[in-house]
Amino acid sequence: MKKWIILGVLGLLAIIFLIVVIGGYNGLVGKSQAVDSQWAQVQNVYQRRADLIPNLVNTVTGAANFEKSTLVEVTEARASVGRVTIDASHAPEDASKLQEY
């Protein structure tokens, strides 16, 4: 009789140990999947940022081209302020009229 009680207690302890081990393993698997899920979110954010870089480069390139063309036009306008241009069809014939003009 004592032998059966000892075997029953040992069997019960073995079952409890297996339940604890299986529960612990399932918990670790769940945590591993949660980590994988969060890492996938990080990779999604990295990919979204990488996709936005060409748009940013195009925007900056367009702005730089606008600034360059504006600077060229302003420089040309400043340079032409002191310049006198005479249309050939309206130009005076002799030097004295040119001086008056």
Q: Quick one: CA torsion of 41, 42, 48, 53, rounded to 10 degrees? A: 180
Distance CA 27, CA 24 (A): 5
Find out whether 98 and 91 touch, Cβ atoms under 8 Å.
yes
pLDDT band for position 84 (cuts 50, 70, 90): low
Place of tokens 């748009």: 55
Q: Alpha helix locations (H) across the chain? A: 2-79, 95-100
Whether 3 shows a pLDDT value over 60: the answer reads yes
Per-residue confidence (pLDDT) for residue 36, from 0 to 100:
97
Residue range 5-40, pLDDT digits in tens: 999 999 999 999 999 999 999 999 999 999 999 999
- Residue 1 has what pLDDT? 80
**pLDDT at position 101 over 60:** no
pLDDT in tens, 27-77: 999 999 999 999 999 999 999 999 999 999 999 999 999 999 999 999 988
Q: Which amino acid is it at 19?
A: I
CA angle centred on 52, ends 42 and 68, rounded to 5°? 150
Using pLDDT thresholds of 50, 70 and 90, give the confidence band for residue 97: low
